[in-house]
Amino acid sequence: MLAKYIHEANADYRRIRQRIPLGPLRTEAEYSRAVAVLDNVVDEIGQHETHPLADLAETLALSIEAYENAHVPFPNSPGPEILRSLMEEHGLTQSDLPEIGSQGVVSEILSGKRDLNVRQIAQLAARFGVSPALFMPVSTKTTKRLPPRTRKASVR
């Protein structure tokens, strides 16, 4: 019975994956498609953090981030610094960013007192046409992958 469910899940997953690049992104084409789908999902979600597609947006953002960590060099600047730079470049004030929240919330983010959440990151990336990973905390951008651990056979 379990084998039947696994077979059905595999067929469903393949159908979904034809439309939405879920899972590891291995090529630049898959990456570009994931970014485009994430933009569309964020447009659908809007300001609703409890929207049924919020988990999909987060999953896509994590896949995009993993691809970028492996393939795209990023500056080691913190998200607030990058946001501040983009605001200056586009002539924006804190109150010009309603997708983040109130002017007070923007101020807390820029000062480092508050972190951006996934919804805010996705919306900022869409607004400025940049990768969501630019706004991720520096520690996630610079994390090195450790080699897989090998299990030692237990001696009995």
Q: Which of 77-81, 131-135, 149-153 has the lowest mean pLDDT?
A: 149-153
Q: Which of 39-43, 109-113, 150-154 has the lowest mean pLDDT?
A: 150-154
The pLDDT of residue 34: 92
Residue 43 and residue 46: Cα distance in Å, rounded?
A: 5
Determine what percent of the chain is predicted with pLDDT higher than 70: 83
For 22-47, what is the mean pLDDT?
A: 89
Residue 41 to residues 33, 133, 156, Cα–Cα distance (Å): 12, 17, 53
Residue 113's closest CA among 149, 147, 80? 80
